[in-house]
Chain A
Amino acid sequence: MAWDSAEELDWDALYSDQLPRIYNYFRFRVGAYADAEDLTARTFEKAWRARSRYRRDLAGFSTWLFTIAHNVAMDFLRSRRAQISLDAVEEMPADGTPEKDAERHSDLVRLSALAARLSEREQELIALKYGAALDNRQIARLTRLTESNVGTILHRAVQALRKQW
């Protein structure tokens, strides 16, 4: 899709394309501790209100939208950080038996609990890769990392998650 300015965007097409990405980004990023629908709605609302400020010469619309989503997620996490950390600790069984844990919790809750042990950057990359389904090049553009760096960090994070899954 090629757009010269925000006013010429095909909003319906953009919405259909980006909604599942944004929605799943939030599901992965804030897990079961927040209303992904609420944060998704907030992101689109902000984006559309600020559409006159969007400049295609600076970034693709998807990049711009995910920058807004990232800020929405950060605002939310800042306000909930203490609670999420405590919840995540409580979710983890003392003996680290994931099977037992899986019996009690949904996979997403389990991912949130495991991801809480990763760094902020690793959590963000996991959400962008597997939630938003972006490729490494798009993630590199968003996070200002190199493509190979994104690949390395993701590989390490996924290995860590797999061990405990």
Chain B
Amino acid sequence: MNDDFLHRLRKDPPPGFAARLRAQLRLQLTPSPRPRAPSLLRNLVTVLLLGGTAFAVTSLVISGLPVSLLKWYQHTAARIVAGHAPAPDHRARRYGTRAMRPWSPAGLGSADSSTPQGRPGHSATPATNPSLPAAATGAPSGSSSRIVGAAPGGQKAQVAVATSWAAYPYVEPIAEIANRSWPAEIADRNWSAASIAGGRHIDVSVQDSAPGSMCGGGARAPDLAYIFEPAGTVPNPPCPRSASGNPTSIVALPAGYEAVALARSPLYGAVNLTRREVFLALAKWIPDPRAHTVHENSNTTWRELDAALGAEPIAFLGPPLSSAAGRSLIELLLEGGCQTFPWVAALKSTDPDRYARICRTVRTDGVYAEVSSLAPSRLLSEPNAVGIFAYRDLTYAPFKDLAVGTLDGVEPTLSGIASGAYPGSCALYLYVNRARAPVRVVMTLLRDEEWIATRPDSALLPLSSPDVRSALEALAR
């Protein structure tokens, strides 16, 4: 059998790869623990715990708590949908300066009501923030396809949802799910038969001006808006009062957290960087220190950024830039570092196109490699490379061996992300105009968010069930 052509295709592994992998495997030479046989005491404890849980659940069912909760939700939803809004004096108290104080997640500590700071990609005064062109955002601007109509009975036929550029990858699938599954779920008196037959109940558009664009009212104003805000702070109300001086009905509900983190092979150890260093290593265009100009990034070793960082070549492995995690990378790391140059940060309001080119463009010379599913083994075999992960990924067991680095000196932890202490984190908020969006719709959206957060390709850290319930309570007040 003449098979030389196949034998010739064999080749030895690259020596560098063989050496790196050998070194990595040697790191794992400590004996693995053997599984312990279950002891009598452990069995006893397990039985007691299971028995206690069963008793607690049975007690709850007997006391009827779930039924009363369900009735409360139905009653509240029906009242608001039917137009029984709270009395004006209650609203004045609730929707004043503290009206936008949303539900605060447990464990966050005291919420800071100061103006959001350091949140890249979102302006504290969104109504004056010009939208990015669709080409720059990579997402549809949406307004042209939006049809907002009124169904018989005064109910809206479509819910208009605005999102920021970074939140779009999360919101779009939620809308898809809703548009597919809602006809069966919400075909009741709140929705006209015509709107259900039309198929699209949720229309999503990217608007950097949201949630400020919710204030104006009118047919084109969004009913809901998904916006990333700095974690641990309370979003400022976009419009505590309408033009006529009455309190508005816009409330912000937390919908999840997101964070990106840096990790590297334990062989080279954790990498501790600032956002400014990440920007100077990753951005295609970097500011010239001597003038208000930029030049193409030619940094190839860490030493060029800071002598203390060593002479290793700069190499990053991270998510595709169009993915949710990729957008977070750009917004939280790249823009975060970019904004440490005051004259570039000022461009956001004066020349948003140039700002986006400088602050949101990743270099394409091979320093950053997009990997659709970055496995720990890839980093272990390339110990010099810095991996950029959604923090959520790093909580999974296969990633435990990686050395997780700090950002601006702060280590990523769940509590640090929720409190906003970790600079690579943010919180996703759902702004609701309660006067326009049916409560049932919002409740379904919140449930779908929970679902979307559990998807393997999502970078969102979901809220716990009690947190979702708290958000619903805030909505129904």
A residues contacting B by CB (< 8 A) are 7, 11-12, 15, 19-20, 23-24, 27-28, 35, 37-38, 40-42, 44-45, 48-49, 51-52, 79, 107-108, 111, 126, 129-131, 133, 155, 158-159, 161-162, 165
Contacts and interface: CB of A to CB of B under 8 A. Distances in A.
B1 A37 contact: no
B21 interface: yes
Which of A37, A52, A79, A108 has the largest number of chain B CB atoms within 10 A?
Answer: A37
Interface of B: 1-3, 5-14, 17-18, 21-22, 24-25, 28-29, 31-32, 34, 373, 375-378, 380-381
B13 A38 contact: no
B7 A40 contact: no
B376 to A, nearest CB: 8
Per DSSP, are chain A's interface residues mostly helix, strand or loop, or mixed? Answer: helix
Per DSSP, are chain B's interface residues mostly helix, strand or loop, or mixed? Answer: loop
A48 B25 contact: yes
Contacts of A51: 32
B212 to A, nearest CB: 42
Contacts of B13: 19-20, 23, 37, 40
A77 to B, nearest CB: 14
B403 to A, nearest CB: 16
A19 B21 contact: yes
Contact of B14 (A37, A52, A79, A162): A37
B320 to A, nearest CB: 14
Contacts of A158: 1, 3, 6
B421 to A, nearest CB: 33
Nearest to B379: A41
18 contacts: A7-B31, A11-B29, A20-B10, A37-B17, A40-B17, A41-B24, A44-B21, A45-B377, A45-B380, A49-B32, A52-B31, A111-B9, A126-B6, A129-B6, A155-B1, A158-B1, A161-B6, A165-B5
Contact of A40 (B12, B21, B376): B21
A44 B20 CA distance: 12
A44 B380 CA distance: 11
Contact of A133 (B2, B10, B31, B377): B10
A42 B377 contact: yes
Nearest to B8: A107
B9 A107 contact: yes
Contact of A41 (B3, B12, B21, B32): B21
A88 B24 CA distance: 34
A15 B21 CA distance: 10
Contacts of A159: 1
B13 to A, nearest CB: 4
Contact of A38 (B22, B28, B29, B375): B375
A52 B24 contact: no
Contacts of A40: 13, 17, 21
Given A155-B1, A158-B6, A162-B5, A20 B29 contact: no
B10 A131 contact: yes
Contacts of A20: 10, 12-13
A79 B457 CA distance: 14
A165 B7 CA distance: 14
Contacts of B377: 38, 41-42, 45
Given A37-B13, A111-B6, 4 more contacts: A15-B22, A27-B11, A130-B3, A161-B5
A7 B30 CA distance: 10
B9 A27 contact: yes
A12 B23 CA distance: 11
B40 to A, nearest CB: 25
Contacts of A24: 10-11
B29 A41 contact: no
A101 to B, nearest CB: 14
Contact of B25 (A15, A35, A129, A131): A15
A52 B11 contact: no
A37 to B, nearest CB: 5
B28 A49 contact: yes
A23 B359 CA distance: 40
CB-CB nearest 7 A-B residue pairs = A41-B381, A130-B6, A41-B377, A42-B377, A23-B13, A52-B32, A24-B10
A130 B7 contact: yes
Which of B6, B8, B25, B381 has the largest number of chain A CB atoms within 10 A?
Answer: B6
Contact of B381 (A11, A37, A126): A37
B180 to A, nearest CB: 23
Nearest to A45: B377
A61 to B, nearest CB: 14
A44 B9 contact: no
A141 B11 CA distance: 25
B25 A45 contact: yes
Contacts of B7: 130
Nearest to B31: A7
A135 to B, nearest CB: 13
B190 to A, nearest CB: 41
